[in-house]
Amino acid sequence: MVSSYVIAAEEAATGLVEGGFWSDTAGIMLLTPFLAFLAIIAIGKRMKYQGGEFAVLAMAVNLVWAIALFVENLGREGASEVSFSIGAAGSGINFELGWMVDGLSTMMYFLVAFVGLVVFIYAIGYMHGDVRVTWFFAAFSLFAGSMLLLVGAPNLIQLIIGWEGVGLASYLLIGHYWEDQENVNAGNKAFMVNKVADIGLILGAIIIGLSVGDFGFVELSEASLAHDPTLSSVAVVGGFLLFFGAMGKSAQFPMHIWLPDAMAGPTPVSALMHAATMVTAGIYLMARTFPLYQNLAAEVRPWMIAIGAITLFAIGLLALVADDIKKVLAYSTVSQLGYMMTAVAAGGYTAGIFHLFTHAFFKGLLFLGAGSVIHAVHSNNMSDMGGLRKFMPRTYITFVVAALSLAGIIPLAGFWSKDEILATLDHEGYMLVFWIAVGGAFITAFYMTRAVALTFHGAYKGDGHPHESPSSMTVPLMLLAIPSALAGFFNIPGVELPAIGNFTEWVAARVVPMGDHHPEGIAWNLAIIGLIAAGAGIVLGWMIFARDEDTQQKRDRLEIPLLYPLFRRKYFMDDIALGIVGFTQGPLARMIDWTNTYVIDGVVNAVGGFALAIGRFVYGGVDQRGVDGVFNGLSAAVDGLGSAIRRLQTGKVQQYATLFVSGALVLVIALIVLR
């Protein structure tokens, strides 16, 4: 069964009608990465780039499709959905697969396709000569395909399928260099933390789906608009559980601990994971279910804001002490995810999603730039770098553009999206969180200035001869540098671009109106506060880290007593996690084993022994000696009687006649006597 719908957002009731060609066939975008995966597995090793061609082709097709979707839905205030019924349970609960095309999913289709295509092209050069290149591109295609399956999901069931596919692919890719036990541990850590969080997602989906009577996002939005009081308490519980699932995938405190270790995978994996796939999945889930939190589960939002605020500030501080350039960027990603979560929870659906959009470009560029540096110096550590701007000018320029955009410097993309988050927090009255976000902007600019200074300025402190990366790696850097600088212009408050409008209108095209705050113009008083914080971070960072020394360790000389040792221990969160794991594997496991062996097994064995004794009694005493004895005795008696009677059957007529006459005489005599 197939259904295709479109809904006008201005309608009071949600009525669904047909969509256009590109929307009705958008499911092809969800399939192409999986087809690429199969092709790479089948014949990838025979190809020139060991299967990378199929991965790039799949992303190129998807990019064309995503652009066509954007054009087709330009100006349309609504959403289209195509669903295939695959089964049913209970009374009226259907399980469906399909795809949704609205402002949110169209934006994500484009983001995954564009950033994925750039990263896949980059990976062909980066992974040249590496181990298991064919398997890498197969798993990479599976990664992108699972994310597309997730963002295209019209219901919670399909979202969970894509969610778990992303988790599986990330596990394979993080542990790509499995010869090193540390990389294996990183993959296991990411997998286990996310599995704990996934319990919340699955339980929340079950609770909400059964309560609403359907797992579809259209039905969830309709139920949220109806303000059904019978759903309120259930919606709060379900909302908390969904948020718990999002905390794992989007690395919110304290479930952020897996993300820095995930840098063990190849750099292209880090770039795509942090830009447009795995870590954005939790933010996407919150945005997709935004009507639930806006209307029925508003009690969850203060908790979301608190967790997001802690994440954006406290985890950003950890980047100040990291030496691994990829881990600096990883902590930065966690911090920016905190900004996104805080914005969505505060009611800024558009603000959070717009920051996700701009962040994908400049964070993808930063990771690819870091990969270019690592490719040149064969080390992840900034203590082995310095002075690379002389050897790698294209990498340097693009990296600086991305760093300034991340810091929120006008007019680059990051300025506009962060400014909208600050405007949302101010409008909604979360002034404490507003100033925490401003502090986070200062910290972001400070640690990115440190990273740029230690990596590209001063004298080179490493071994070997650094060089600029090949064009297959630097051209993708330039492709990402353009939107890192310009993407913010798509959503300048109060400004509509000719023919295409602005980002706010695009992502507002949903089943129901979003109802979040949209500033009519730039709030320059707030923007200036953010710029002052970012500028102060850059100036202070440059004053401390720009001056060259004999060693990088001397350059990286800032040390704040008590705080920096705490940052290096990561607030002891890893120690706590390891303690929980150690307790689970040690005393708790031994206690459970003892309980299982001596209590549960003891009870089971006692019951089994009693049952065995009863069985033996019933079998030996009752059945064998009793029932079988009676039947065997009767059988023996009948058999003996039969044997005795059988002797009378001699076959001699004379005997039969004699016996007949004798019997007759006996009867005659008996009759005479009785008379």
For residue 520, what are its two tokens? 């009519």
| Cα–Cα dist 163/83, whole Å | 19
Q: What is the dihedral of CA 43, 47, 51, 57, to 10 degrees?
A: -110
| Cα–Cα dist 499/75, whole Å | 9
Helix, strand, or coil here: 642? helix
Counting every residue written for the chain, the total comes to 675
Reported pTM? 0.85
| Contact yes or no for 572/579 (Cβ under 8 A) | no
192 class by beta-carbon count within 10 Å (0-12 exposed, 13-18 middle, 19+ buried): middle
Buried b (16+ CB within 10 A) or exposed e, 448-461: bbbbbbbbbbbebb
pLDDT at 204: 94
pLDDT at 7: 37
| Cα–Cα dist 565/575, whole Å | 14
Token pair 């019978």 in the structure block, residue: 230
Token pair 């750099």 in the structure block, residue: 267
300 class by beta-carbon count within 10 Å (0-12 exposed, 13-18 middle, 19+ buried): buried
| Cα–Cα dist 67/59, whole Å | 12
Separation in Å, CA 60 to CA 42, 114, 482, 489, 625:
21, 8, 18, 25, 82
The enclosing H or E element of 94 equals strand 93-101
The enclosing H or E element of 5 equals strand 2-8
The torsion region of residue 175 among left (phi > 0), alpha (psi -120 to 50) and beta comes to alpha
Q: What sign does the CA torsion over 246, 247, 248, 249 have?
A: positive
| Contact yes or no for 263/170 (Cβ under 8 A) | no
Q: Which of 381, 180, 173, 351 is nearest to 274 (CA)?
A: 173
pLDDT at 633: 80
DSSP 390: T
Q: Where are the alpha helices (DSSP H) in 487-596?
A: 503-507, 524-545, 552-555, 563-568, 573-585, 587-594
| Cα–Cα dist 203/555, whole Å | 50
For residue 111, what are its two tokens? 């983001």
| Cα–Cα dist 597/542, whole Å | 63
Cα–Cα–Cα angle for 348, 113, 330, rounded to 5 degrees? 60
Separation in Å, CA 98 to CA 29, 109, 222, 454, 642:
11, 14, 19, 48, 79
Helix, strand, or coil here: 129? coil
Q: What are phi and psi of 257, to 5 degrees?
A: -65, -20
| Cα–Cα dist 442/531, whole Å | 9
| Contact yes or no for 287/349 (Cβ under 8 A) | yes
pLDDT at 661: 82
Helix, strand, or coil here: 8? strand
| Contact yes or no for 95/75 (Cβ under 8 A) | no
- What lies within 8 Å, CB to CB, of 458 at 6+ separation is 386, 387, 546, 547, 548, 549, 552, 555
For residue 668, what are its two tokens? 């005659």
| Contact yes or no for 319/335 (Cβ under 8 A) | yes
List per-block mean pLDDT (blocks of 10 residues) for the chain, which spans 675 residues.
Answer: 36 49 90 95 90 93 93 79 77 80 91 94 89 92 94 93 93 89 88 91 92 86 78 88 94 90 88 87 93 89 95 94 93 95 92 94 94 91 92 95 95 93 92 96 96 93 86 93 94 83 83 74 89 96 91 87 90 84 73 83 87 83 77 80 71 74 84 79
Rg (CA), the chain: 36
| Cα–Cα dist 600/292, whole Å | 44
Separation in Å, CA 33 to CA 40, 110, 145, 230, 575:
10, 14, 5, 42, 39
Separation in Å, CA 560 to CA 301, 433, 454:
34, 25, 19
Token pair 């990479």 in the structure block, residue: 140
Q: Where are the alpha helices (DSSP H) in 127-265?
A: 133-151, 156-174, 181-212, 217-226, 229-249, 258-261
| Contact yes or no for 280/146 (Cβ under 8 A) | no
| Cα–Cα dist 515/537, whole Å | 35
